[in-house]
């Protein structure tokens, strides 16, 4: 069987009833949380072909991400709300103006 434990941004994958094939390590493989560590890992007894187990590990990391703190996020939200209000008010002001004066002729 295969056991997985998370330790400080790393994963320790243990092959409990055999070794990793092809001889990547004896019982444990330590994988960093990186895209390069993704792949298929096979665990089993080298003498017994029926007892092999394969695990597929995929790491999805965000290399181009930025971290937004609470004040920045609040500023963005408030800015969007204020801008939406101002645009709505401008549209209302333009639309509510009279189009032209209607004159009734002298009779």
Give the full edge-to-edge strand order of the sheet including 2-7: 2-7, 10-15, 28-32
| Global confidence as pTM | 0.51
Share of the chain above pLDDT 90, in %: 23
48-98 residue pLDDT tens: 666 788 888 888 877 788 889 999 999 999 999 999 999 999 999 999 877
The dihedral through the CA atoms of 49, 43, 41, 4 has a sign that is positive
* pLDDT (0 to 100) of residue 102: 63
């Amino acid at each position: 069987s295969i056991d997985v434990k998370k330790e400080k941004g790393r994963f320790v994958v243990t092959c409990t009833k055999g070794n990793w094939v092809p001889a990547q390590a004896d019982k444990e493989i330590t994988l960093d949380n990186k895209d390069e560590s993704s792949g298929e890992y096979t665990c089993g007894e080298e003498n017994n072909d029926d007892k092999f187990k394969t695990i597929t590990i995929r790491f999805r990391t965000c290399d181009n991400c930025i971290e937004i703190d609470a004040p920045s996020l609040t500023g963005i939200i408030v800015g969007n709300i204020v801008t939406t209000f101002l645009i709505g008010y401008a549209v209302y002001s333009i639309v509510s103006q009279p189009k032209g004066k209607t004159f009734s002729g002298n009779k």
